[in-house]
Structure 1
């Protein structure tokens, strides 16, 4: 016997009218007025955007380390020419592990923010990161680093989801373009910070050349 979905009751006209009026009012807000009315939400959005500074920094750590002599010597293999390098297979593997973990983190972030809320999801992701940094700091092999990269990239994916979903769902229309631009700016600032840190640690004795960037994550 064929089954048909149950019919849903139409929404009352008054409820539809209220929703349309609220949407029209939100669209009529100026950025300054919206900033005043939603100041608490804007502050939380700015706090969340700070995580993207860290994410922009972290995403460049993997590629930056491959050219650090101390890292090559401690984690690489000796070549026929007598120097050390990280094999192409390991470089590709690290990038792949990071990408897969970020995607899983984005999916997890969407589910968690829907079930537990933005704040709890964000706090849980932030709290999970310091223990993983210890794995980076004391890692003695590429295998341990691979595990650390996988675990560390999960909260990075959560950050991407939470920041964008929070802006698109919670923030008023007048402020969304500015806040999304702030997210992009935070990401770029993190990458710039990565370049500054690696340039500043080149003169440190091994293995602090790469352990300091690990600790700053």
Structure 2
């Protein structure tokens, strides 16, 4: 009986010790969160420079995907694109409505599929490898768009690039949510929205200045810009923490 009581008392002591340790850990975590919250924006940048830098990198990848989303609609309005991919009608070149819808709709469909699949895949191989795969897809897809001379080939490039759009949009937004210092969460949450706006803005600026060129470079310049966004992301990718 004495042995049984001693064992019971030992279990009570052990349980109490664990409870005290958990309470202490919880208190320390709350204190750390409070300290980060009270730190302020500028001091958070100073204390967490690398976390802030990689949040900026993540926003850069968002610019890449938002640029691609807008590029399809932008090039359709370029006269040289309609001339190369459309047909002449009453003195002007027009692009069939079915292809216009396909160029915009197909990437959305693949982006939805990719958003779901990339989230699951990231749990197994990590966000960094999923991002590498997305960037590889972007390079291949943009290359297809760049060399395309028929609607079918251009459609294939847009369809493929939709997988990049869905993957980057899913994994990099959640990446920002996980690594952003507490006091900077509002800043970088807004930064995602700004990044989604910068991509289309750049696409419109490029097409405004190159859209009147009397050659295929009127629309191919847009694709070269996509190579630039993806290239910068690829150069910095090896240094990205998981």
Q: TM-score band (shorter)?
A: 0.7 to 0.9
Q: CA RMSD in A?
A: 2.1
Q: What are the within-5 Å matches in structure 2 for residues 30-179 of structure 1?
A: 30=39, 31-79=41-89, 81-179=90-188
> d(CA) in 1 for partners of 2:184 and 2:123?
22
8 Å contact kept, 1:27–1:173: no
Deviates more, 1:123-132 or 1:205-214: 123-132
8 Å contact kept, 2:137–2:160: no
8 Å contact kept, 1:26–1:172: no
Alignment partner of 2:196 out of 183, 187, 194: 187
Structure 2, unmatched stretches of 5+, are 1-14, 227-242
Counterparts in 2 of 1:47 and 1:24: CA distance versus 1, 3 Å? same
8 Å contact kept, 1:203–1:209: yes
- Aligned residue-pair number: 206
Structure 1, unmatched stretches of 5+, are 1-9
Higher CA-based Rg: 2
| More helix per residue | 2
> d(CA) in 2 for partners of 1:103 and 1:19?
38
8 Å contact kept, 2:146–2:220: yes
1:72-108 Cα distance to aligned partner (Å, 9 max, x none): 11111333x2422112222222222011111122123
Q: In structure 2, what is the equivalent of residue 26 of structure 1?
A: 33
Counterparts in 2 of 1:17 and 1:33: CA distance versus 1, 3 Å? farther
User: Which 4+ runs in 1 deviate beyond 6 A?
Assistant: none
8 Å contact kept, 1:27–1:174: no
Q: Secondary structure at the match of 1:174?
A: helix
Counterparts in 2 of 1:33 and 1:114: CA distance versus 1, 3 Å? farther
TM-score (norm 1): 0.85
Q: CA deviation at 1:38?
A: 2.9
TM-score (norm 2): 0.77
8 Å contact kept, 2:51–2:181: no
